[in-house]
Chains A and B, each alone.
Chain A
Amino acid sequence: MTVLQVSPTQARHGAGWHGAPAVQLQGLTKHFAQRRSFRDMLVPRPRTPRVAAVDEVSFEVAAGEVFGLLGPNGAGKTTIFRMLSTMILPDRGSAVVGGFDVVTQSANVRRILAAVPADERSLHWRLSARENLLLFAALHRVPQSEASARVQELLGTVGLGTAGNKLVAAFSSGMRQRLLIARALLARPRILLLDEPTRALDPLSAQEFRRFLRREIVEHRRCTIVLATHNTEEAFGFCDRVAVLDRGRVLATGATTDLAARFGEERYRLLTTDPDHPALSALERCGLLRSLCRSQSSSPDWMIVECAISGDPARSAQVLKRLVESGVPVARLERVDTSLADLITRIIGAAPKSVAHA
């Protein structure tokens, strides 16, 4: 299967830029058995039906890179994470982490990779933050003489310095997320897997958290980050490159901005008092405007007309000029950023064609 490689920036980030790739997936495949009914248990079928959770996935992540996995629920992101963290064995293909194979050298992989699950359940809620970290310091074989100091340092790093003795049960979701990060950093991993790390955070905390990741984890600790996300800001502003997955397949890889340029549609928002002006229909007929969608603005007299204008900014300037010349009252014409959902939908929509071309 061919995967769209939309990546002028890949030369900057791809394998070889920092030496050997931190993570290398080659044809990684995992099928799961479908749930069996009572009837199936009594009368076994010759072959239990299986569904592909991850299907021939291949990509590389360079050392020091922030790589995002995007895709709808069930796309296979978490299964890839769990294979990388050696908790699921792949059916076919290979996954190499820091030079170690996840199947044959799983113990070595666990020494250099740490996964931060989306699930906060994996903390011991009846213990304090410090006690949680001391437990995992022992399991990660942090020397006993260093454990307390490292735990204190990490609590400070994730902004929980004063909450170390507080029970985790009394923590907010954001604090638990930070504690999970601190736990993952105990063993000073080279590769960090983050599964929807800001899912439970408010927008401000999420922004601060991303800054923290970039500053402390990537720049200071030189960690490679692979994260699964549904968050637009995370995908566009934080990831160096992304892979878009759907139903277990990688549909495209590349820098998010490059993918947006390739698959995104230039959408604009027009604020006017006359959304049904004939000039708009005329521009739509001649193909300058597409996909018009009208809605009420916050001001009672003004309406929003959202539309697509293909081409460079000169084309939108031309549209604006013609609208004004036609007497359409225009208060504002502004570009709308491509949402992650739109981008993923478009990539998924484009996928069958690209596969067919291959």
Chain B
Amino acid sequence: MRECLALLRAAWLTETSYRLNMLFSLASLIFVVVPLYFVARALQPTMASSIASQSQQYFAFVLIGSATLTLISASASALPNAVASAIGRGTLEAFLSTPTHPALLLGGMSAYGVLWAVVRAAILVAAGAVLGVRIAWANAPAILALLALLIVCYAAFGLIASAMLLCFRTTGPLLSGLLSLSALLGGVYYPTHVIPSWIQQLSNALPLTYGLRALRQSALLGVPVVRLGHDMAMLAGFAVFLLLIGTLTVAAALRFAKRAGTLSQY
């Protein structure tokens, strides 16, 4: 764990050396929340009935969707970004030459990206709270568990993307495709039951669909955790399955890169 923290600290120190970039990253959140607030208010009468099972306010609905999308995007892209940066800077081989287990190295390398997204998502929610969104804090443990499962699911996609990066020096359309699909079909801006039935099968194959629905019910409607059993079980199933696939894929990719001698090539 100390190894992860050391990598996290190094990433934090590196990022804080670009102070202006950090400030812009936080300031840009204003340009997300404020327009969202006014657009959501305008759409409230139209959306009210279709979102009723997850939220009473469309602004709260879409805010939770946007914050979660921020979080899952970072979870999926943190590791491939960190691996690409480490290959480019020549630090990947230096890390892998140490006795630290690759799993800890990869965890530590991606930790900053995920935690920074958590901060950004928290700021979004806090801004939403200022603008009238009510969060059922009594369900905080369930909310945190759902977020953790979502992070694991999408971090597992990040593992697969990193494996592709190690083997082919590109993640291909995997991440952009996954995140676009998640944004369009995962229920970020509208509930999944309003999308055509033939495409709902695809929606059902996305972890975000289950995570976001349960998250909104828990955080915005105060639905107790026992009534979220199906969505939570689906999400946990996705997490276990994807993590297993991701771990196996990245281990195979490391072996492949070592056999091909391409580990540090960029």
Contact = CB atoms under 8 A, between A and B. Distances in A.
A204 B100 CA distance: 37
B60 interface: no
B7 A135 contact: yes
Contacts of B17: 126
Interface in A125-180: 125-127, 131, 134-141, 144
A122 B94 contact: yes
Given A110-B99, A122-B93, A124-B91, A138 B6 contact: yes
Contacts of B5: 138
Nearest to B92: A122
B13 interface: yes
B96 A87 contact: yes
Range class of the B interface residue count: 20 to 34
A324 interface: no
Interface of B: 2-3, 5-7, 9-10, 13-14, 17-18, 89-91, 93-100, 105, 255, 258-261, 263-264
A284 B185 CA distance: 88
B222 to A, nearest CB: 42
B223 to A, nearest CB: 42
A107 B5 CA distance: 21
Interface stretch (A59-67, A112-120, A261-269, A347-355): A112-120
A17 interface: no
B3 A138 contact: yes
A40 to B, nearest CB: 15
A144 B91 CA distance: 22
A80 to B, nearest CB: 12
A52 B13 CA distance: 42
A250 to B, nearest CB: 19
Interface of A: 30, 32-33, 53, 79, 82, 85-89, 107, 110-111, 114-115, 117, 119, 121-127, 131, 134-141, 144, 183, 187
A200 B5 CA distance: 33
Nearest to A132: B10
Contacts of A183: 94
Given A122-B94, A136-B98, A139-B98, A30 B14 contact: no
B258 A87 contact: yes
A115 B98 CA distance: 10
6 contacts: A88-B261, A122-B89, A122-B91, A124-B14, A127-B13, A141-B100
A33 B2 contact: no
Nearest to B96: A87
A33 B94 contact: no
Contacts of B90: 117, 119, 121-122
A89 B14 contact: no
A118 to B, nearest CB: 10
A23 B104 CA distance: 29
Nearest to A112: B99
DSSP class of A's interface residues: helix, strand, loop or mixed? mixed
Nearest to A120: B90
A127 B14 contact: yes
B10 A135 contact: yes
B97 A86 contact: yes
A122 B105 CA distance: 15
Given A122-B91, A126-B14, A135-B7, A110 B97 contact: yes
B93 A135 contact: no
A199 to B, nearest CB: 15
A139 B95 contact: yes
Given A53-B261, A88-B261, 12 more contacts: A86-B97, A87-B96, A121-B91, A124-B10, A126-B13, A127-B13, A137-B6, A139-B3, A139-B105, A141-B99, A183-B94, A187-B98
A121 B91 CA distance: 7
A57 to B, nearest CB: 15
B261 A79 contact: yes
Nearest to A114: B97
Contacts of A32: 260-261
A140 B3 CA distance: 9
B2 A138 contact: yes
A261 B100 CA distance: 46
- Across the A-B interface, the 3 shortest Cβ-Cβ residue pairs: A138-B6, A121-B90, A139-B98
Given A131-B13, A134-B6, A139-B6, A33 B97 contact: no
Nearest to B104: A139
Nearest to B95: A139
A221 to B, nearest CB: 19
B98 A144 contact: no
Contacts of B264: 87
Contacts of A123: 91
Given A134-B6, A135-B9, A138-B3, A85 B259 contact: no
B93 A87 contact: yes
Given A126-B14, A139-B3, A87 B259 contact: no
A127 B14 CA distance: 6
Contact of A115 (B97, B100, B259, B263): B97
Given A110-B98, A139-B100, A82 B261 contact: yes
B260 A117 contact: no
Contacts of A135: 6-7, 9-10
Contacts of A122: 89-91, 93-94
A182 to B, nearest CB: 13
A334 to B, nearest CB: 45
Contacts of B10: 124, 127, 131, 135
A111 B98 CA distance: 7
B198 to A, nearest CB: 34
A33 B93 CA distance: 20
A138 B104 CA distance: 12
B265 to A, nearest CB: 11
B26 to A, nearest CB: 20
